[in-house]
Amino acid sequence: MKPPAFKYHAPASLAEALDALDAVGHDGKVLAGGQSLIPILNMRLAAPAHLVDINRLSELAYVRTEPGGVTVGALARHADVERDADAYAAVPLLRQGLRLVAHPVIRNRGTTVGSLAHADPSGEMTAVLALLGGSVDLVRKGASRTVGAEDFFAGPLESCIEPGEMAVSAYFPRLAGRTGTEFVEAARRHGDYAMCGVAAAVTLDDDLRVTRARAAYLSVSPVPLVLDLTEAVHGATPATARWADAAALAVLSIEPEPDIHATAEYRAHLARVLTERALRAAAQRATSTDVERTSR
C-alpha cells in the first residue's frame, strides 16, 4: 500500500497553484486534507502524475459569515467550520452535519470543500450543500465560475470540476423564514459512512404551520438526493403534522443499492424512519429558537 511515484507541487499562492494545475491538466490532482485522496493513492486506485498541495494557501483558510450565508474557503478544515459560532448561528445545519463526519482527528485535517470535491454520495457535506441549494466557486488560470449544488455533483465520486480547475470556496446560504434543520443518520459505528442519513429543513409560517418540508439523503443515491415533501404536511402544525406520511412519500422516490452492511430494503426502511425523525426535529427547532434569529 504505497503510492506510485508522482510529482509534488507546493505552490505558495493561489496564482501559483492555478499555474501548476493549468500546466499539468488531466494529470493533476489537488491535495488538501488528504483524508480520502491519500488512501486512494496508497491503494493505487488512482495514480495522478502530479499532486498540487494547497496546504500553504493560507488565503483560502477562512470561514466567512455574511447576512446571506456562510462561505467556506478551500483550506478551512471541517473542525474550523464546525466550531465557528457565527457560521452555526447563520446555518445550523453545517454543525449538525459536521458532527457526523468521521471523527475529530479526521475533521481536524479534512477540508469541507475537499469533501465536496470528492463528491462521495455518502458524504454529509454533499447533502448539506444540496439541501441548502448552495454553490461552489471554481477557478482556473484566467477564469472562474460558480456552480450550483444541483449541477456540481455529476455521479458517485464525480464532480463537475474540470482539469486545470480548482474549487476555491463553497457557499452555504442561510435558509429564509422560520426554518429549522436537523441531520440524523444510522451508521454501523460512530463516525462511519452512514447506511442512510437524512438532512431535513422545515419552514413554518407565522401561525407555526408548515409551509415547506424538504429532506436530503445520504448513501441511497448516486448523487445527493433532495426531496420536497411539503405536500404531505402542508398547513399542519409540528405537533399535528403526519410526519410518517412525509416519510412514506419520500420512500417512493428512493431506490437504494444493497451492500455488505445493509440490504436495499433495510436502507429504504431506514430512510423512512430517519426522514420522520429528522423532519419532526427540524420542525421542533423551527417553532422555538429559530424565531428570533430569522427575524433579526
DSSP-assigned letters across all residues of 236-292: --TTT--HHHHHHHHHHT--PPP-SS--HHHHHHHHHHHHHHHHHHHHHHHHTTHHH
- CB 19, min distance to another protein, A: 28
Cβ distance to another protein smaller for residue 65 or 115: 115
Q: Cα(234)–Cα(203) distance, rounded to whole angstroms?
A: 10
Residues making contact with another protein (CB under 8 A): 1-5, 43-44, 103, 186, 188-193, 195, 260-263, 265-266, 269-270, 273-274
- CB 185, min distance to another protein, A: 10
Cβ distance to another protein smaller for residue 122 or 203: 122
Cβ distance to another protein smaller for residue 26 or 188: 188
- H or E, element range at 89: helix 85-90
| AA letter at 5 | A
Q: Cα(224)–Cα(129) distance, rounded to whole angstroms?
A: 9
- CB 258, min distance to another protein, A: 9
Cβ distance to another protein smaller for residue 62 or 266: 266
- The CA dihedral of 89, 138, 45, 24, to the nearest 10 degrees, is -150
- CB 232, min distance to another protein, A: 19
Cβ distance to another protein smaller for residue 34 or 177: 34
- CB 186, min distance to another protein, A: 5
